Structure 1
Amino acid sequence: MSLVVYLAALLLALSAILLFRRPRAALRNPLTASTCAAVSMSALCFICSAPVTLAAVNRLTGIPNFGAPLTYSMISAYSCSLIILLIQWRGGPSELVRRSTRMAITVFGLLIAAIIVLFTLADARTERLNDLDTYYANTPYMREMIVLYLVGHGVCIVVMSAVCLKWMREVTGPLRTGLRLILIGLLLDVAGFEIAKITAVVARWLGHDLDYLSTSVAPPVVSLGALFCSVGFTLPRLLPSAIVHWQSLNDYRRLTPLWTEVQWAATAPKPSPSWWELPYARLQWLEVSIHDALLALAPLFDDRVRRISLATALDEGNTPGQAHVIAEAAMLADAARQAAAPVGRRFEEPSTYRLHATGSVVTTELVELAQALGQSPVVAAARRGSVIASHD
């Protein structure tokens, strides 16, 4: 069982690291901080509940079953973090958010204090690493402690389910998907943890043995449920950024023909983007460098090449918009060829024409120019220098 819960803890810890990749920004954002705290608390719950961890804690403290109140306190703290996260996620007036947060901390703080007091009063000298809930189900004070932490976690699940169901009808997109994943996780939590644990404990009260529900069924199911909840909480936070990076990576690749054509003319310094911002930062640097190179080549633009290429592109059946982009790409290719020549062409009056892409703030215009450079036969002719020659 330790392997299952440690694996769940590892996956949850990775989620927390992704969310906490910028510590200063995360701490300034209550929603991000709350999400990191909830996911981290979930990971700690699994670490503390593993039999290997329980045995180590008991051995280090010298108190049999000391890992039990520690784990139950962690579960209660995790429940509190989920409630606080939902409060922050839901938003509203700042005073209401603060008051609700303080109330949640107070209630679950009292619950944790009660768990510790009840364990102190109980007689639990026999160490139980896997079946403590059922073994001590009829022991005074231990019985109350077990019921208390199960009720506290159950209340958390009911509140979260009600809020998620109500909120899900009001939102769309990644946030709604995240809420659905959270509800799936809560359902697994109810079935695999609450119902299984309570059934096993009640069976002990009635003189029956259904310990396997607590020892074998609950751990893997609740691990899966926690993973669903964590993905549901992190998805709306990470998905928009992931989409931006993926689009940036795609645009970076599509700009390769344009960069290959003009890179030698660029003078913009190359930065050192952090690993986390690599796709987006690289795209920004590439766009700046391309614009720099286009400005450097602008004095060599030949309007004749553009006009002839525009007519040729229209004759080939391209739309006016496509023909315009092809004509500009052909003029750019011709300017690059002239600039790279041993004795470049010099105009008495340099062209004042500016490419449409240099006046746009979106990447789409540069991408269209790059695609024309890499695909159009009209541009290939300009690159060979045959556009003007064929019309002289």
Structure 2
Amino acid sequence: MEFRFTEEQQMIRDTAEAFLAEVSTPAAVREAMATERGYSEALWQQISQEMMWPALHIPEACGGLGLGFVELAAMQEQMGRTLLCAPFLSTVGFAVNALLVAGSEAQQSHYLGEIASGKTATLAFMAPGSRPDADAIQVTCAADGDGFLLNGEYRYVLDGHTADILVLAVRAPGSAGVEGVSLFVLPADTAGISRQWLPTMDQTRKQARIVLDKVRVGGDACMGAAGEAWPALAKILDLATVALAAEQVGVAQQSLDSSVAYTTERVQFGRTIASYQAIKHKAADMMLKVEAARSAAYYAACIADEALADRPLGSGLAEAASIAKAYCSEAAFFNAGTGIQLHGGVGITAEYDIQLYFKRAKSTETLLGDAAWHRERLARQLLDGGVA
């Protein structure tokens, strides 16, 4: 396992940094976040058609580039630095990984090809007020002839109101925990599906409520064996967690960089405030947080590559994902919060970008489990072998 970028990976990272610096400016972010869609369709098509980012780790046989998870993590970090308003995490971090892990050959060929060509997708699995574990799945799935009937409600679905393709986690009536879980993939305009945008604190990333009312799907929409999908879904969520952690590294890094830039310009008592020892100590603490988080995130990305290839080291995915999410959640929130302090009273005002990073840091902290939840999960893994 190599713990430094190859020349190709460095080039991908540098290209992403340059492109996002041009298209995901503070003005562009503010313009996109003020809309219900939450992103520019023209920019998404540019990302898909010209940059081919959604196809990054889609196999070449399905129209993708066939690269790995480390490349994906490098790109997610740069997206976090610029607060890119686009359905990339929902489409690639969730739905593409779901199709790679649980999709049949026919499903992969069809849906991954559509995503590579510019369609968006997302994964829905959480009921209102739930935690990101098997008990969060409360939408029911009942056999109906040669198909299934789906009923229930999802919350916290990233870009769920705009996605073209939905991956849905459901359970058999009367089942509980990890038993009876199934995955389905289907077009978002299937009859019986209603979707509603839910405004949240973080305006740069949209979430939605999805309601299924007697949605009938064919057997060919089922991903794998019905009722036996929890191991696959657990792996999918861990892969998404690693991608999210890499994004949090970018949030933490930019919070540090923008705060240092501000303190080197802000003059108080005849000198820049960056020259004061207390400010230097704060910046040093922020740098320590982001470097530790980056190490955890890229180690987890290496393990994710192993897991996607079904190699032995991939068995450590759940542990690596929890370590990365715990470190990166705390780093992003600490750095964004400290950045607001270093900006003084103006840090939380709309005029400055640091408040947007603070909101993204908080929303990503709760998404897929906060640091405390992941440390609890780590304890279960280490002490009794549980991974739920």
TM-score w.r.t. length of structure 1: 0.30
Higher relative contact order (CA 8 A, sep 6+): 2
Q: Which has the higher strand share?
A: 2
Q: Which has the higher helix share?
A: 1
Based on CA coordinates, which of the two structures has the bigger radius of gyration? 1
